[in-house]
Amino acid sequence: MVIGGAGLIGCNLVRALNTRGYTNIVIADHLNHPDKQKNLDALEYAEFLDKSEFRTRFLSGGQRPVTTVFHLGACSATTETNADYLNDNNLLYTQQLCEWALANEARFIYASSAATYGEGEQGYNDDDTVTPQLKPLNLYGKSKQDFDLWAMDKGLLSQIVGLKYFNVYGPHEDHKGEMRSVVNKAYRQILDTGKLQLFRSHRDNYEDGKQERDFVYVKDAVATTLYFHDHPEVSGLFNCGTGTARTWLDLAHAIFAAMGREPDIEFIDMPISIRDKYQYHTLADVKKLHAAGCTAPFTPVEEAIRDYVQNYLEKQ
């Protein structure tokens, strides 16, 4: 069962499951964008349900049990300001689904987020002693943090897996609108204008374009997710990141190189509305992930962007 199966990580996960021979898959999502339907078109699955219909079904006892629930569905907009909506859609829905999965002896693997780390005052350590101290910068991050804390308080982290995905990018993210990765936006901007705009730094200790992120190619995010599917003996809350911070300039140069163009970068002011909620540095601490046995290397930014641009974006 893949909740959010028409989304970026979700549809790539279903595709990976199909490659393994799995087709008896229930997908739940909300098709509020035509590109979400396109994400589903090449996939093999047994049933699709709207997220509301699915919620009614499992709460009423009408959903047959499954072996694994991948819960990747959420409102991921960091600019969302409706706290009641996020509390219901991201927190309560996940709580209800988690309880249903455990009651039916299903493996439960869910998406947390690196947005829970906020400014990174406590670092980016996924240790259980650090998690309660985190202070997300936006309501989206808070909704993810609230579920992590609920699962911890209930003693469920010994039974389930939460993955704190860092900055995931890759094929099949067109439906995300303003929440698309910079790689996706940049490709189209460069095609249209020949140049790329990046946010200027508004902090003295960061040069323009030197803000840092832990960029994760979606294929690596899927591989990490499937590791925990394959190892049901491992549970807990884990970072899903490369363990390497790269700058926006690194990303920009990789995009221009993949497109066979010389870099032409323009710096613009960051909107005031997001300046005090902007993360200048993220970097996954991957010691816990590696200790759990998940040690496969992540794809370097240059290689991943070349694959994304040349094998997907240029062929659309």
Residues 49 and 180 occupy one common structural domain: no
Residues 27 and 140 occupy one common structural domain: yes
80 assigned to some structural domain = yes
Catalytic-labelled residue, pool 51, 142, 176, 219: 176
Range of the domain at 257: 174-212+245-275
Residues 84 and 228 occupy one common structural domain: yes
Catalytic-labelled residue, pool 45, 140, 187, 308: 140
Distance CA 233, CA 159 (A): 9
Cβ atoms of residues 266 and 195 within 8 Å: yes
Residues 208 and 160 occupy one common structural domain: no
Catalytic residue flag (residue 140): yes
Residues 191 and 124 occupy one common structural domain: no
Look at residue 178 and tell me whether its pLDDT is greater than 90: no
Distance CA 71, CA 94 (A): 8
Residues 184 and 104 occupy one common structural domain: no
The CATH number covering residue 207 comes to 3.90.25.10
Residues 46 and 191 occupy one common structural domain: no
Domains in the chain: how many in total?
2
Catalytic residue flag (residue 312): no
304 assigned to some structural domain = no
111 assigned to some structural domain = yes
Residues 233 and 259 occupy one common structural domain: no
Residue 314: name the closest of 265, 264, 260, 263 by CA.
260
In this prediction, residue 274 has a pLDDT band, given cuts at 50, 70 and 90, of: confident
Residues 8 and 89 occupy one common structural domain: yes
pLDDT tens digits for range 221-251? 999 999 999 999 999 999 999 999 999 999 9
42 assigned to some structural domain = yes
Residues 179 and 77 occupy one common structural domain: no
229 assigned to some structural domain = yes
192 assigned to some structural domain = yes
Quote the pTM value.
0.95
Distance CA 305, CA 130 (A): 33
Residues 200 and 218 occupy one common structural domain: no
* Pairing mode of beta strands 246-247, 212-213: antiparallel
Range in 35-39, 162-166, 227-231, 271-275 the model is least confident about: 271-275
The CATH number covering residue 152 comes to 3.40.50.720
pLDDT tens digits for range 99-143? 999 999 999 999 999 999 998 888 999 999 999 999 999 999 999
Residues 127 and 257 occupy one common structural domain: no
313 assigned to some structural domain = no
306 assigned to some structural domain = no
Cβ atoms of residues 299 and 219 within 8 Å: yes
